[in-house]
Amino acid sequence: MLTSAEYVRIRFGHMGDDCFGCKCWGQINLPDDQLVSRSLVVTLLKKKSSEKVKSWPKVGMPADVGDQFLRLQRQALRWAQDNAELIRTTQPDVATLDNRLQDNWFPLLMIATLASDKWKPAALKAAGIEGVIDEPGDEIVMLRDLRNIFHTRNIDRIPSRVLLADLLVQADSPWMRYEKQPDGLSQHQLGAKLRKIGVRSKPLRYGKQGELVDTKRQLKGYDKAWFQNSFDRHLAGEKPEEVDVSSEIVPS
C-alpha cells in the first residue's frame, strides 16, 4: 500500500525527511475524540460460532510472510512510480464528504480513483458510511442540548442552576452519568465545558425574556445569543426539538 509519506513526495515533490506516515492503532473501546475524528475506524466484531477464521500462529510467523510483505511493498512502489504524474494532477471527488472526512479519505480516494472505475464508487460509498467517527462528541451533544432547552422553554436567558437541572434530565445525553459521578455533571464541570467553547456565565437580569428589566435581582446564567455562532456552525441543517426540562423555574 502507498504510505502517506510516499504519497506526499509524489504529489508535492520531495520535502526532505518524511513528515508523517500512516499509523495503525488498536485498543478496546475508542480512544479520545481528537484521535477518532482524524482516523479511519475499523470496528472488530466478535465472530459467530458458525464462522471460521484462519488462526495466526501463537509463536513466530509463517516462513513466507516476509516474502509476501516484500512483494506487496515492491508492487506498491512500482505502482506509485508508474502513476506519479497522475497522482500529482488528479483530484478525487470528495464533494459529498465533510471536511474532516475529506482529509482522512483523500489519499485512499486518490488511489481508488486511479485504480479503476470499479474502485472509485466503492471507496466513496465506504467513505460515506456512518460510523463511529460520525458520533458527536461531548461538545456537539452539549450544544444540541442547550439549543433544545432554550427552544423548549422559549426563553433567551437561563440561570446556571436551571440549565444544569435541565441537562441532567436529558435521557439520551451523558450528563446524568457523567464520569460515573452519582449526581452526574456538576455546576463546576458545566462551567468548564462552556468556557472551552468561549462562553462564561455572567450575572443577568431575567424578568421579561430578551429585555433588561429594572430589577436588582441578578443570577449568574447564560444568554442564548452567546451560543448562536456555535449553533450556526456546528448544528447547521438541524432543527431544534422539544425536550424534557426540569421543574426548576426561570425567574420572572
* Pair (96, 13) in one structural domain: yes
39 vs 100: CA distance, rounded Å: 9
% of the chain surpassing 90 pLDDT: 37
106 vs 95: CA distance, rounded Å: 11
* Pair (225, 188) in one structural domain: yes
Residue 158, strand partner residues: 222
Any domain includes 239: no
Tell me the pLDDT of the chain averaged across its residues.
82
Its pTM surpasses 0.75: no
* Pair (151, 130) in one structural domain: no
Residue 92 near residue 110, CB atoms below 8 Å: yes
Any domain includes 248: no
Residue from 138, 112, 124, 106 nearest 38 by CA:
106
Residue 109 near residue 127, CB atoms below 8 Å: yes
Q: What digits encode the pLDDT tens for the residues 126-144?
A: 887 554 444 567 888 999 9
Distance of alpha carbon 178 from the chain centroid: 19
81 vs 127: CA distance, rounded Å: 26
* Pair (87, 195) in one structural domain: no
Any domain includes 142: yes
* Pair (120, 219) in one structural domain: no
* Pair (147, 115) in one structural domain: no
* Pair (104, 144) in one structural domain: no
* Pair (89, 178) in one structural domain: no
Residue from 119, 128, 122, 117 nearest 95 by CA:
128
Number of domains in the chain: 2
pLDDT at 251: 78
Question: Which residue segment(s) compose the domain that 36 sits in?
Answer: 4-47+77-134
pLDDT at 243: 97
* Pair (198, 94) in one structural domain: no
Any domain includes 95: yes
Span 206-214, average pLDDT? 53
Any domain includes 31: yes
Higher-scoring residue by pLDDT: 244, 212? 244
183 vs 177: CA distance, rounded Å: 8
Q: What digits encode the pLDDT tens for the residues 2-59?
A: 555 555 555 555 544 555 566 788 887 777 777 777 888 877 777 777 888 888 777 7
Q: What digits encode the pLDDT tens for the residues 82-113?
A: 988 888 888 887 777 777 788 888 888 888 88
Residue 220, strand partner residues: 203
* Pair (215, 177) in one structural domain: yes
* Pair (86, 112) in one structural domain: yes
